[in-house]
Every structure is written in structure tokens, then in C-alpha cells.
């Protein structure tokens, strides 16, 4: 489990005014990855954002808003924040769900559904954790060998399937 380091206010940053609100710039501390010695930052879509369309990227992403459309994060982590509502087909290395997801998840390494998270759809992954209190409705395919074929799906944008063999 990762510990998010608190953001620190930049004391010499100018305060920006606009639309009747003031904004103070913050410099966020980088979040180190468990398996990487380098510090790593993630992109974030705030809770007031609503996106209709495909999201693709080559960096970690946290979504706190609403998204309708496929999400492909070639070999990176997607965090579905507690206020997030996704209607998406998802392909990533890791998916951590605190909010709500409707659609299939294909994660090369792992899927975690936290206690207040909800997933309605099929999951294909090498490892999965579903905490007490989490909601899951769908099928699960757990296949550690699938981690190599998932990489191909992420790059082609193919939809994940969860058929039992």
C-alpha cells in the first residue's frame, strides 16, 4: 500500500486571481513507486470533470470525475478515486478502484477493489483483491500468464474478455 505524501505550499509562489476565486500554486511531492527507485508523479482528473471519449496515455492516472469511454494506459496504473464514476472498458497494468466502474477491466498485474468501490463488469488479471464491503458483479479470469497478452491488448486497444476455459 502506498502512502501519499502531503503537498506542501510554495511560499514564494504568486497568488493567481480569476473568476472571483484565488488559487495558490502547490508543488506536490512525487509518489515513489513500490517497484521503482525513482520518484513518480501521476496525472489527475478532478472530481468536477466529465469526459466523453477515449483516454489513452503512457503515465499513471487518477480519475475523480466522470468518464464515458475506453481507457488505455499502456503498462501504467489507473486509480479510480472515491468520487469517480466510470462507464469504460479499461486496459492498464494495475487498476485500483475506490469509486464506481461499469465496464470490463483488463489489468496485466493486478486489480484492487477497495471497501467502498464497486465494479460491474468482467475482470481479467493476474492478481485480484476485493476488500470487505466492496461491490462486484461480473466474472473474473485470473491467469498469471495473461500478463504478456494484456500488453498486446493495451497497445492495440482491443477489448478485454473474461471467458472461462
What pLDDT score does 148 carry? Answer: 56
**Cell numbers of 141, please?**
479470469
Is the confidence at residue 154, as pLDDT, over 70? no
What pLDDT score does 27 carry? Answer: 33
Is the confidence at residue 91, as pLDDT, over 90? yes
What pLDDT score does 128 carry? Answer: 97
Pick from 41-45, 52-56, 68-72, 123-127: least confident: 41-45
**φ and ψ at residue 103, rounded to 5 degrees:** 140, 170
What pLDDT score does 145 carry? Answer: 76
**Residue the block writes with cell 497478452:** 149
What pLDDT score does 146 carry? Answer: 64
Amino acid at each position: 500500500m502506498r502512502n501519499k505524501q502531503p503537498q506542501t505550499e510554495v511560499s514564494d509562489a504568486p497568488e493567481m486571481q480569476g473568476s472571483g476565486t484565488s488559487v495558490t500554486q502547490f508543488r506536490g511531492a512525487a509518489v515513489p513507486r513500490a517497484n521503482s527507485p525513482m520518484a513518480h508523479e501521476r496525472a489527475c482528473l478532478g472530481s468536477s470533470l466529465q469526459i466523453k471519449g477515449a483516454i489513452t496515455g503512457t503515465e499513471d492516472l487518477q480519475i475523480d470525475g466522470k468518464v464515458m469511454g475506453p481507457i488505455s494506459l499502456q503498462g501504467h496504473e489507473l486509480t479510480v478515486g472515491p468520487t469517480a464514476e466510470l462507464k469504460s472498458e479499461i486496459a492498464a497494468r494495475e487498476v485500483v478502484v475506490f469509486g464506481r466502474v461499469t465496464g470490463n477491466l483488463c489489468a496485466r498485474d493486478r486489480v484492487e477493489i477497495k471497501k467502498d468501490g464497486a465494479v460491474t463488469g468482467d475482470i481479467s488479471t493476474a492478481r485480484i483483491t476485493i476488500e470487505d464491503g466492496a461491490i462486484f458483479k461480473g466474472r473474473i479470469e485470473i491467469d498469471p500468464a495473461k500478463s504478456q497478452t494484456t500488453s498486446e491488448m493495451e497497445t492495440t486497444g482491443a477489448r478485454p474478455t473474461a471467458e472461462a476455459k
